[in-house]
Amino acid sequence: MSPLKKVAVIDTGAGNLFSLFACLERIEVEAELVTSAEQLDDTIYQTLLIPGQGRFGNVMENLNQSGLSEAIKAWYLKGKNIIGICVGLQIFFESSEEDEGIAGLSLLKGQVSKLNSPKQPMVGWCSLQSSSSSLNGKSVYFVNSYAVKNSVNVTSKVSYGEDFVASIASNGLTAFQFHPEKSGKQGEEILRRCLG
């Protein structure tokens, strides 16, 4: 990749960075871990990637302390490319039942809610429901107890006891409740498409 196509992986203080970096390497994407707002430079990085795993409140606390929450907001408001995974999707909303009283980035309207599912947490493979042929029917890997139930920005849903949002797209943001980095070749292809 050229220097302008580097991916800045945001350090949220949580997340499975090993599997994410391994996946990015497999699809030949150059990525670096970013731990502070000062490191973010859109002449170097084409895309911000916010990894999954971790509690909503802990992730927001870490992003606020490092100054990265404001940097992510600014990047989003400029319409620049962002990918969010799992809790990296959830933080774009206003709040979460997981950690009530802690505000998300509030760039998208809505709340993250606890799943009314047969087993908690939801762990395993589910097929996406989407009007997009690039997503519909794809089997992807989930690990979550919380999700967004509805949003105007939905690109796919999944059913696990109830329907919830599996992916969204808004103003340069593409975010997944599932883990594309753990979803085999189909997940790699989904990430590759996002990184264009």
Give residue 196's pLDDT.
76
- pLDDT at residue 81 above 70? yes
Catalytic residues, by residue number, are 86, 179, 181
Asked whether the CA dihedral 152, 143, 139, 85 is positive or negative, the reply is: positive
| C-alpha closest to that of 76 among 168, 160, 158, 152 | 168
pTM, rounded to two decimals: 0.94
> Exposure of 23 by Cβ count < 10 A (0-12 exposed, 13-18 middle, 19+ buried)?
buried
157 has which bridge partners? Answer: 129, 165
Per-residue model confidence (pLDDT) at position 27: 95
Residue 3 phi, psi (nearest 5): -55, -30
- Quick one: 7 exposed, middle or buried, by C-beta within 10 A (0-12, 13-18, 19+)? buried
Distance (Å) of CA 18 to CA 14, 15, 24 = 11, 9, 10
pLDDT above 80: residue 40: yes
Among 14-18, 60-64, 109-113, 167-171, which stretch is predicted with the lowest mean pLDDT?
A: 14-18
- The CATH number for 38's domain is 3.40.50.880
Q: For the chain, what percent of residues have pLDDT higher than 90?
A: 85
Range of the domain at 8: 3-195
Average model confidence (pLDDT) for the chain?
Answer: 93
Mean pLDDT of 13-41: 92
> How many structural domains comprise the chain?
1
Residue 78: how many CB atoms within 10 A of its CB?
Answer: 10
Rounded to whole angstroms, the Cα distance separating 32 from 145 reads 29
What's residue 4's pLDDT?
46
Mean pLDDT of 170-174: 95
In this prediction, residue 15 has a pLDDT band, given cuts at 50, 70 and 90, of low
